[in-house]
């Protein structure tokens, strides 16, 4: 158990840095899709270096796998709402990362697409896939902030824990709403290129 926890925490450092970078990248979409693409190009110059990308993929697999193992191992012994919220938000993030990373790699290797914001937003602009992708992305962003809030709250005195969790979670919900609105064209006109939409329309 201790070895798995150590692996989980060490992988978490790399994954958390990338996830926060990714969240900032998506937040840039609130200022327009052009801002999102410019930020992504600058960030890719760093994290798409072959060695760094390989390290990131290994850490994602290690983080997700160890997280799901810890969730299963401690299923019956979690004391209180904070432990459960941390576990469940972490479990959702683990599943999201596995699905999302697999989809991005398939988009690059199989569909030969640039997996930029258009790739992420396509499912949000094609009916009925919106029914899946809206909650899928919304819960992912909310879970990131909930998980971080729980990690901070565990080091605080019990009376203030709920507030420490509620503040970042509220930020996550607001950010998720704004980002989804931007990617769906609700904040400014934005139409996903047809080549990306066709990956759904053809099914």
**Residue that wins the pLDDT comparison between 120 and 155:** 120
Residue 169 has a CB neighbour count (10 Å cut-off) of 21
Residue 201 has what pLDDT?
A: 67
What percent of the chain lies above the pLDDT cut of 90? 51
Residue 78 has what pLDDT?
A: 65
- Mean per-residue pLDDT for 53-67? 87
Residue 81 has a CB neighbour count (10 Å cut-off) of 12
Rounded to 10°, the helix 33-47/50-73 angle is 100
Residue 97 has what pLDDT?
A: 87
Altogether, the residues listed in the chain come to a count of 203
Q: Where are the domains of the chain?
A: 2-201
- Mean per-residue pLDDT for 1-10? 78
Rounded to 10°, the helix 2-27/33-47 angle is 140
Least confidently predicted of 86-90, 126-130, 153-157, 185-189: 153-157
- Residue 203: helix, strand or coil by DSSP? coil
What pTM does this model have?
0.87
pLDDT of 134 above 90: yes
Instruction: Please write the tens of the pLDDT for every residue from 71-129.
Output: 777 666 667 788 888 888 988 988 898 899 899 999 999 989 999 999 999 999 999 99
Instruction: Please write the tens of the pLDDT for every residue from 136-145.
Output: 999 999 999 9
Residue 141 has what pLDDT?
A: 94
Residue 77 has what pLDDT?
A: 64
Dig out the tokens for 102 from the structure: 């697999």
- Mean per-residue pLDDT for 55-79? 79
Instruction: Please write the tens of the pLDDT for every residue from 20-50.
Output: 899 999 999 999 999 999 999 999 988 888 8
Residue 75 has what pLDDT?
A: 67
């Amino acid at each position: 158990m201790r070895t798995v926890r150590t692996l989980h925490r060490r992988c978490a450092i790399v994954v958390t840095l990338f996830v926060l970078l990714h969240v900032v990248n998506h937040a840039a979409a609130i200022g327009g899709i052009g801002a999102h693409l410019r930020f992504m190009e600058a960030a890719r110059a760093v994290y798409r270096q072959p060695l760094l990308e390989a390290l990131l993929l290994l850490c994602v697999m290690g983080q997700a796998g160890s997280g799901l193992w810890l969730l299963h191992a401690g299923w019956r012994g979690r004391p209180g709402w904070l432990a459960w919220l941390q576990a469940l938000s972490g479990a959702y993030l683990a599943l999201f990362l596995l699905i999302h990373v697999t989809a991005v790699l398939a988009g690059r290797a199989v569909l030969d697409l640039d997996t930029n914001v258009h790739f992420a937003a396509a499912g949000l602009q094609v009916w009925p896939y919106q029914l899946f992708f809206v909650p899928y992305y919304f819960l992912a962003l909310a879970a990131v902030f909930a998980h971080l809030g729980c990690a901070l709250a565990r080091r605080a005195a019990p009376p203030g824990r709920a507030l420490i969790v509620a503040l970042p979670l509220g930020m996550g919900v607001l950010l998720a709403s704004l980002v989804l609105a931007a990617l769906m064209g609700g904040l400014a006109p934005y139409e996903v290129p047809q080549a990306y939409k066709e990956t759904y329309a053809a099914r």
